[in-house]
Every structure is written in C-alpha cells, then in structure tokens.
Amino acid sequence: MTASPPRTAAASPSTADTHCPYCALQCAMTLTPDPDVSAPVRVEGRMFPTNRGGLCKKGWTSAALLASPERLTTPLIREDGVLRPAGWDEALGRIVSSLRAIRQEDGPDAVAVFGGGGLTNEKAYLLGKFARLALGTSRIDYNGRFCMSSAAAAGNRAFGIDRGLPFPVSDLDDADTILLLGSNVAATMPPLLAHLAGARAAGGLIVVDPRRSQTAELTADGAGTHLQPAPGTDLVLLLGLTHVVLADGLADGDYLAARTTGADVLRRSVAPWWPERVQAATGVPVAALRETAHRLARGRGTYILTGRGVEQHVDGTDTATAAINLALVLGLPGRPGSGYGTLTGQGNGQGGREHGQKSDQLPGYRKIADPADRAAVAAVWGVDPDSLPGPGVPAVQLLGMLGRPEGVRALLVHGANVVISGPDAEAVRSGLGALDLLVVCDFVLSETAALADVVLPVTQWAEEEGTLTTLEGRIIRRRRALVPPAGVRSELEILADLAARLDAPSQWPTDPALVFAELARASAGGIADYSGLSHAQLDAQLDDGVAAHWPYPAGSEGTPRLFLERFAHPDGRARLVPVQPRDRDPDPLEEAPFERAMPGEGAPAVLTLITGRLLEHYQSGAQTRLVAELAEAQPRARAELHPATAARLGIADGDPVTVRNRRGRVVADALLTERIRLDTVFLPFHFADAECANLLTAAETDPISGMPEFKRTTVVVAAGRRRGGAAPVGAAQVRAAQVHA
C-alpha cells in the first residue's frame, strides 16, 4: 500500500469554514491548520441552524482520516492477481482501452457506473453527464437507492416533489408533538436531538422502533411514548393510526377538502384496520394506539418524521405513503408550525439524487424519459437529445447484472463500497469478480477497491471545493482547508480526462465553481432548480447560505418552506394514495431446515434480523473503522439479543454468536439488552468480512422504489465457537497484503 507522507500546517491554504463529511445534517465546522501531523487540521464546531456549534463523535474525529496511513496516493493496477502502483497515464490508458473494447463488442450498456450519496453536487452532476455522454450508457445508479428511494417515491406521488424536509430543521424547535418512525437519531445524527427538546419537554416525543434505541430511551420519565411494533409491521401501525384519526373525528376536514384529493377512497381503505386488529398484527396495545392518534391531533405543533427503519422494506414506498396519508388527514404538510418530512441519511443524499446519478433522472430532478426534460439538458450539454440513453435500472438490479451474459462487463464505482453495503453481499462480491473491468475511485483501499482492476486515489472532503444539499434542501458550501497529497486527483479531473480520451462531446470543466454554474443552467426550470445560485453567491450569503433552499430559480430568494400555498401537482393538491399490506411469500432460502444446529453451535432459534447504525460508525465503515478513537469504541460487530432469548440459547453477554441463513453466516459477539424484542436480533451494518450484516439480507426490492429489504430478514441464531488463539487479522491488514508496494 502507498501511504501519504506526513503533512504539516505549511501545506494548508488557510482556515476554512466548511461542513462535516458525514450525515445529511451537514453540521458546520471550522478547520484550522494544526502542526500536529496526526491530524493536519483542528476541528471546531461552528454556529449553523442545524447543529448550533455542536458535533457528534464522528464530526469531532473527522480530521484523523486526513493523515491516515491507509491513504492512497498513487493509482493501483492489478497484475497477476496483485495490485501494484502505477502512473496516472498508465492507469487511465488501461481504463480507456478496456472500455473501448467492451463497448465495441457488446454496446454501451455493457459498461455501468455506480455513484454515491457522499459525492458533492458537482461530482454527482459530472458523473451522470459522463455516464450518458462519454460512455453512452443507461446503466447508472447510486447507493442512495439503499437509503432514500422509498421516501422519494412516496413524496413524489403524494406531493409531486421529493425534498427530505420541506421545512428548515429549526422549525422542529417549536413543536410539542413529534412522531418519529424508524430513525435512531441519537446515534445517527446526535445534534438533531436539540431540535426535539421542545417536544420532549411537552411529553410529546413519540418514537416507533422495534428496539428501545437510544432515541426511544429519550421518551422516558414522561418525555413521550415508545411504540415497539414487530419488525415489518409499521405499515399496519400507520393504517391503524389513520383509522383512529378518521373514526374518532380527529381529521382536519377543511384541509382535506381544500388541499387534497382521494379522501373518500382513503377512508374506505383504512376502515378494516380497527385498533384491536392492529394490536394483533403489531403488538402495539390498543390504548397506546388511540392515545398516539389523539396526541397527534391535539398537538399545537405536530410533525411526522420517517427514517430508514420504515422505508428499507419491500413495501417501503407504501409505508412512507401511509405516513404521508396520516400527516395529510391531520392537515400537517404546508401548515405553519407543523409538517411531514423524512430524514435523509448520507451527507449529500438529497443533492446526489437530484442531478443525474439515479437511473431515471437528469439534472434538476428531470425525468430522462421526458422529451422536454431531455431537450432542456441536451441544450446545455450541446448534444442532440436523441443521443442520450433512456432510463437505466435501479441499483440492486444493476448489481445483479454484473458479469452476467448480456449484462454488465465493466463497472466504475465512485463514493460507494458495494461489497459491504449491497444486499446479499456474497452475490455482489461474486458479480464484481466476474467483471472484465472494475474501476474504483477512493481515498483508502475499501473492501470494494481491494477487488478492483484499477484503483484511482481521489481527494478527501477537506481537500476540495464544492457544494452539498442538506436533508432540508439547503445548498451549502464545502471549502478546501488542505492541499491534497501529491499524486491525488479530484474526480472532476479524472472524469474530464477520461472524457477527453474517449472523445466525448460537450465541455468538461474541472473547476468546481464552473461545474456548478453548468449544473445551475441544466437544472433551470426543473423540480430541483438551482439556477439562481453560484459559488460566489453562496459564499456571499450570511452564514454559508442559510437561506439557499431549493427550488432557487434565478431572481428568487429560495424556498425554505414548501407547500405553504400549493403542492407540486398541476392542480396544487396533495394525493391521498390508499395502500395495504401485501402477503409476503416465505423466502425459500429462509425456511425451517436451518433450525437444526451446525457443528460447534448450541441450540438455534429462528429470529428476525434488523440492521442499523452505531454512533461511532458511518455507512460501510470504510472511513470510521480507520479512525482509532471510533474503532476502539466499537471494534467489531455485536449482535443485540434479549436476555431471555439468549438464556434459551445458552448465550451469555459477550459470547460468540452465529447469525445465518442460506445466503451467508455472520459471527458476532452477543450484546444482551432488554432494549430489543424477544423475537428479534440486531446487527450493525458497518463491518466487513465475517461480520458483514449484508451477507444475510436478500436482494428483494420494493417494486416502486427499488429499495432493498434490509430491515426484515429471517435468520437462525445460535451460540458459536468461542474465539481463541491469536488476535484476528483486521480487514485493513488483509487488504494491505493484496497490494505490492
């Protein structure tokens, strides 16, 4: 492995006001050059509406990765099965020659691109343009498909627009009732907790989660209510709440008549979901169901917020739709002091899906199948609209095509670690191994990069300029605090160089401000219109663009709050869309034969696996597992089990546990806690190798959004072999051994 040389403060341009590289809250921070070479900049929290100067563990330690010995600073090429250092010209030349041969033999759709929700708006935009113009492929999607796709689909069909929060986060401060479904914000975005303080003080924080998570714990001592439904029954719970609101006369009739369509059909659709039936399906008591519905209706300021826990299901779009229906019958969206929203996870999950990474979208949230949208973007790019490919396929389907006959032969990965984050991870690994060409852009050798034919070292967040879009639709500036190490390039430079070598039409700027200017022109008139913004304007605005919420057409002042007067459908009304639970056929890979023990295991039990995040780690863990303070706090995966379940299996706290089904087998340490249901096991999804939770999840998806079923997997849990002997070899050491330096 090629490590970066120690850097000193002299290498830094200046102190920079910027934002955290992790979640979509995008907490503001200031980076100051620091002579301590173990962390080349000092991190300080900065006042900003989302975080008010606060940061979480990940934010405070974010500078540590900038000087990591795992840092890549030269391209790597696989030769005789081993990655070796190479020059940029050789690496790019190999990519281009392979791409040309594959496209000539099997057409442009034999090449695919997989993006990431952490890329800046500029990189996401140029990546989508590169796929359509330089490669001519329709096969592009991104890891936001694993995160926000169900909420986005539900928002589009109900409101005609998809923006995570259609109001500023600070609006939550004045709420006295907040229903939070499927989101453990205490672990995933702790600074958000300050915005829930008012609801807690009023006893109105209602948390829906099968686990008694850190967020659910905040409802104790009269601060609110924790509803603990069985995994996968959130849709039924929401139908039951809507039933009570309508049956008990709690609905806002004037709002429904003036601002929505479909109320009568919705009323009939929820009629069968009376409280006793809902209790039988979910385990939530009738009294709690009724009290929750009445609390939502009588709140002086009521918000309903959803997260991945209710969306990462094969019925995730319908579940998010049910939450929107509940909000609409209560008259919340667009009413000052109340509302509905969804909590975007990745740092640029919102902007990343707006500007061309999704398989069916062009910049500005335009539809690639719409002739007018194609013409508008093609005019900015200076190409014939007919030269643009049509819609591609969503991420899980795309990964399933890797290495298949008449499928995908080459894959370019930017800002994603698909071998950890994709469902049915062993199948993803197999598909990657069957490719003729795998190219990965990254700044460390992630588990996916370790499988690549070519690895290209790219800049990190503190070494680049750009913009991102927060969970509330606020466009913010990322500013450079450090000069990147010699040998490292920006993805804007890489894409422009490859485009030139491939004789691609159009212009390929590498200055982020110029790329943003082109993005703004391409988005003009689209749903996500950024045409009134520029880097210079964002820099000039008070406190880093506080008011820069999209849509922001030229001449406007932005749109901090959507839906105040109308929704985005042509008639201005929101759509109430009836939804129902669907029968789920048993997965033949998850049936009873696994109830028998395997050698070395104790008595097994069939449980439901749910996955999620830890405070110390982020996404696939490729970054946070390399930060010593975070890795020491959470060094390995732990399987949460209820003590009564563990006692039945002969498992004590800290014992090794196996969690398995026909797709794979995970080994973890037991963490016994009464915070989880007796029929459920929880695994974090940040870990690799034998601790990778997605070895168990299925590549089954929501038919509308393409979202995988991450939150409900049938598994067998048993006591495993006790670890002994030498300390386990870490994933980073294994990957390092694959590189000849």
218-276: per-residue pLDDT in tens? 999 999 999 999 999 999 999 999 999 999 999 999 999 999 999 999 999 999 999 99
**Six token digits for residue 707:** 């979202």
The confidence score (pLDDT) of residue 585 equals: 65
Q: Is the CB of residue 219 less than 8 Å from the CB of residue 239?
A: no
Q: Is the CB of residue 456 less than 8 Å from the CB of residue 441?
A: yes
3-state secondary structure of 224: strand
3-state secondary structure of 672: strand
Could you give the angle at the alpha carbon of 547 between the alpha carbons of 546 and 550, nearest 5°?
Answer: 120
Give strand pairing partners of 524. none
Q: Is the CB of residue 348 less than 8 Å from the CB of residue 465?
A: no
Is pLDDT at 39 greater than 70 in this prediction?
Answer: yes
Lowest-confidence segment of 22-26, 69-73, 147-151, 465-469 by average pLDDT: 147-151
Q: Is the CB of residue 420 less than 8 Å from the CB of residue 622?
A: yes
The confidence score (pLDDT) of residue 729 equals: 33
DSSP state of 240: H
Give the residue from 134, 144, 124 showing the smallest Cα distance to 99. Answer: 134
- The DSSP string of 147-168 is TTHHHHHHHHHHHS---S-SS-
The share of the chain scoring above pLDDT 70, in percent, equals 92
Cβ neighbours around 650 below 10 Å, total = 12
CA count, 13 A, side-chain hemisphere, 580 = 11
Q: How far apart are CA 667 and CA 615, in angstroms?
A: 21
Q: Is the CB of residue 276 less than 8 Å from the CB of residue 351?
A: no
The confidence score (pLDDT) of residue 308 equals: 87
Give the residue from 433, 402, 479, 460 showing the smallest Cα distance to 18. Answer: 479
Q: How far apart are CA 123 and CA 518, in angstroms?
A: 12
The confidence score (pLDDT) of residue 599 equals: 54
CATH of domain 588-737: 2.40.40.20
339-342 β-sheet, strand order = 224-227, 205-208, 177-181, 302-306, 339-342
- Residue with the two structure tokens 């696994």: 594
Cβ neighbours around 346 below 10 Å, total = 27
Q: What residues contact residue 41 under an 8 Å CB cut-off, 6+ apart? A: 12, 31, 32, 33, 34, 63, 66, 462, 481, 482
The residue type found at 2 is T
- Sign of the CA dihedral 120, 627, 346, 51? negative
Q: How far apart are CA 319 and CA 163, in angstroms?
A: 17
The confidence score (pLDDT) of residue 734 equals: 38
Give the residue from 223, 182, 221, 208 showing the smallest Cα distance to 284. Answer: 208
Q: How far apart are CA 362 and CA 308, in angstroms?
A: 25
Q: How far apart are CA 232 and CA 712, in angstroms?
A: 6
How do residues 644-656 score in pLDDT, each as one tens digit? 999 999 999 999 9
| Mean pLDDT of the residues in the chain | 92
Binned at pLDDT 50, 70 and 90, residue 540 comes out as confident
3-state secondary structure of 610: strand
Looking at the chain, which residues constitute the CATH 3.40.228.10 domain(s)? 149-343
3-state secondary structure of 619: coil
Give the residue from 702, 717, 698 showing the smallest Cα distance to 422. Answer: 698
How do residues 298-334 score in pLDDT, each as one tens digit? 988 999 999 988 998 999 999 999 999 999 999 999 9
Binned at pLDDT 50, 70 and 90, residue 547 comes out as confident
Could you give the angle at the alpha carbon of 198 between the alpha carbons of 194 and 201, nearest 5°?
Answer: 110
Q: How far apart are CA 468 and CA 169, in angstroms?
A: 16
Classified by CATH at the fold level, domain 76-147+348-528 comes out as Rossmann fold (3.40.50)
Is pLDDT at 604 greater than 80 in this prediction?
Answer: yes
How do residues 454-508 score in pLDDT, each as one tens digit? 999 999 999 999 999 999 999 999 999 999 999 999 999 999 999 999 999 999 9
Tell me: cis bond preceding 75? Omega within 30 of 0 counts: no
Is pLDDT at 724 greater than 60 in this prediction?
Answer: no
**Six token digits for residue 78:** 């696989």
Q: How far apart are CA 616 and CA 56, in angstroms?
A: 9
Distances (CA, A) of 332 to 53, 192, 252, 697: 30, 21, 9, 35
Q: Which of left, alpha, beta for 670 (phi over 0: left; psi -120 to 50: alpha)?
A: beta
Binned at pLDDT 50, 70 and 90, residue 208 comes out as very high
- The DSSP string of 479-547 is ---SPPPTT-B-HHHHHHHHHHHTT-SS----SHHHHHHHHHHHHTTSSS--TT--HHHHHHSTTTTTT
pTM, two decimals, is 0.93
Distances (CA, A) of 149 to 27, 138, 154, 162, 314: 23, 18, 9, 10, 11
3-state secondary structure of 385: helix
CA count, 13 A, side-chain hemisphere, 477 = 24
* Burial classification of residue 726, based on how many CB atoms lie within 10 Å of its CB (0-12 exposed, 13-18 middle, 19 or more buried): exposed
Give the residue from 355, 360, 388 showing the smallest Cα distance to 533. Answer: 355
Q: How far apart are CA 538 and CA 28, in angstroms?
A: 14
Looking at the chain, which residues constitute the CATH 2.40.40.20 domain(s)? 588-737
Segment (H or E) for 95: helix 88-106
Binned at pLDDT 50, 70 and 90, residue 591 comes out as very low
The residue type found at 322 is A
Give the residue from 732, 668, 674 showing the smallest Cα distance to 695. Answer: 668
Could you give the angle at the alpha carbon of 79 between the alpha carbons of 74 and 81, nearest 5°?
Answer: 110
CA count, 13 A, side-chain hemisphere, 359 = 23
How do residues 411-467 score in pLDDT, each as one tens digit? 999 999 999 999 999 999 999 999 999 999 999 999 999 999 999 999 999 999 999
* Burial classification of residue 276, based on how many CB atoms lie within 10 Å of its CB (0-12 exposed, 13-18 middle, 19 or more buried): exposed
For 582-614, give the secondary structure using H, E and C: CCCCCCHHHCHHHHCCCCCCCCCEEEEEEEECC
Lowest-confidence segment of 182-191, 592-601, 731-740 by average pLDDT: 731-740
* Burial classification of residue 732, based on how many CB atoms lie within 10 Å of its CB (0-12 exposed, 13-18 middle, 19 or more buried): buried
- Residue 273 phi/psi, 5° resolution? -100, 65
Q: How far apart are CA 276 and CA 279, in angstroms?
A: 5
Is pLDDT at 213 greater than 90 in this prediction?
Answer: yes
Q: Is the CB of residue 110 less than 8 Å from the CB of residue 102?
A: yes
* Burial classification of residue 736, based on how many CB atoms lie within 10 Å of its CB (0-12 exposed, 13-18 middle, 19 or more buried): middle
Question: Which residue blocks in 130-262 are alpha helix, DSSP H?
Answer: 149-159, 185-188, 197-201, 214-217, 234-247, 253-259
Q: Does the structural domain 149-343 have CATH classification 1.25.50.10?
A: no
Lowest-confidence segment of 17-31, 496-510, 579-593 by average pLDDT: 579-593
Give the residue from 498, 336, 478 showing the smallest Cα distance to 19. Answer: 478
Mean pLDDT over 693-706 rounds to 95
Cβ neighbours around 628 below 10 Å, total = 12
